[in-house]
Each structure stands twice: as structure tokens, then as C-alpha cells.
Amino acid sequence: MNHAQSDENQTIFVIDDDSSIKDFLVTFFEMSGFQTKGFDSAQDYLDQLDDTPGCLVSDVLMPNMDGVELLEHLNKIEHLRPTIFITGNATIPMSIQSMKLGASDFIEKPFKPELLLEKVNNAMANFQKNLDVIYKFKDLTSKEQQTFGFMIKGHTNKMLAEDLGISASTVEKHRASVMKKMQADSIVALSKMAALLRPLGEDFDFDN
């Protein structure tokens, strides 16, 4: 096991309605140096929700509220933690949906615990970077957020002016402001950031 990468200030939150899997993972992560909390259901997790930093490791197919529904709810209340889904019955649509909602990774049962540990460490390492992008996006004005959405779709200045009902000179100002505030040096860099913003992308469609 890799103890060097674990952080005692981070907590691993494990949700699984199968108590044998939940207990195994709780023990495994504790032995790997993490604080760990186990939950029998998504509702149990929500009932004990707090601001403790860490990573959520959740089963997908659970009664009452499944993992995808849980993540949808967490996005709505803006309670963001790096999230890794585990499941024995993965489907492509399920995988796509979980990633669109901001899941860090998706792993199928049976899996090697060491692989899950590696994914958890990677998810937590990347999470702060992802949060920084989200906060930068939220600092954009409404028009700048709309401009961001159209820019990553490859719209020209003329198209942007028509889309937003503003002048070409104002479009230039919005584009420059978006690039500066997002600290992006190219549209490609901006597009990569868009993938991290999918949970917040209800106001404009990233995919069309």
C-alpha cells in the first residue's frame, strides 16, 4: 500500500449498501493512513454532511437514492467533493452521466484496492485545481459566462454579437475579459476548463 501519498487531514467517505464492501473499504483506507467514515445509504451521507475535506467513494446502484441522483443533489446544493463511483453493473450511459455531473472517476467491481487508492489520491490532487476553475467561472459576469459558452463552441465575433445582441466592440471586451479572468491562453485551454464546469453548465449547453 502507498502510505506516502495519503493525507491525515483528508477524510474518505464511503457509501455502499453492501455492508461487507463498505466495512472492507473503510478498513482499507484507514490502513492506508486516511480518516474514514462509512455510510449505508446516500441519505445517511446527506444527513451527516459537513465541510470536512476529503473524497467521496460511492456505490452507484443503491435503493431509494442512487449514486448519480446523490451527485445531482450535491451539485444543486453546491457541496463539492472529488467523487469516485464504484459499481458492479456499469453501463456507458451511466458512466457518461456521472462524468457530466463532475465525478472524478468510475471504477467497476471487482477491482484491486490499490487501484482505487491510486484513483482517490489522483482525484484529491486534482480537486483544488478544478475548484479554482469553478471559482473563476463564477466570478464572470452573466454576459461573460454566456460568451465563454459560445467561445468554446467556436463562434466568431460576428456570431457572438448576434447571439448576445451586443456590438462587435463589446464582444471583444467580453472575450478579452473571459480569457483574462479564466487565465486561459487559448480557446483549447478554455475548452479543457469547460469539462470541469459541466456540473454548473445548466445555463448553457456545452455539448451542442
pLDDT in tens, 91-134: 777 777 787 777 888 898 889 999 999 999 999 888 877 778 88
- Whole-structure pTM over 0.75, yes or no? no
Long-range contacts of 118-122 (CB under 8 A, 24+ apart): 118/2, 119/84, 120/12, 120/29, 120/55, 120/57, 120/82, 120/84, 121/2, 121/5, 121/6
The hierarchical CATH code for the domain 139-203 is: 1.10.10.10
What stretches of the chain show up as alpha helix (H) in DSSP? 19-31, 42-47, 67-76, 92-100, 113-138, 142-151, 157-164, 168-181, 187-196
Tell me whether the CATH fold assigned to 11-127 matches the one assigned to 139-203: no
What's 11-127's CATH class? alpha beta
What is the strand order of the sheet 105-108 is part of? 35-39, 11-15, 54-59, 83-87, 105-108
Measured between alpha carbons, how far is 199 from 138 in angstroms, rounded to an integer?
Answer: 12
Domain boundaries of the chain, sorted by first residue:
11-127, 139-203
Residue in 37, 49, 47, 30 with CA at minimum distance from that of residue 13: 37
pLDDT in tens, 40-65: 999 999 999 999 999 999 999 999 99
pLDDT of residue 198: 61
- pLDDT higher than 70, residue 81: yes
Q: Which residue bears the cell 454566456?
A: 146
pLDDT of residue 90: 66
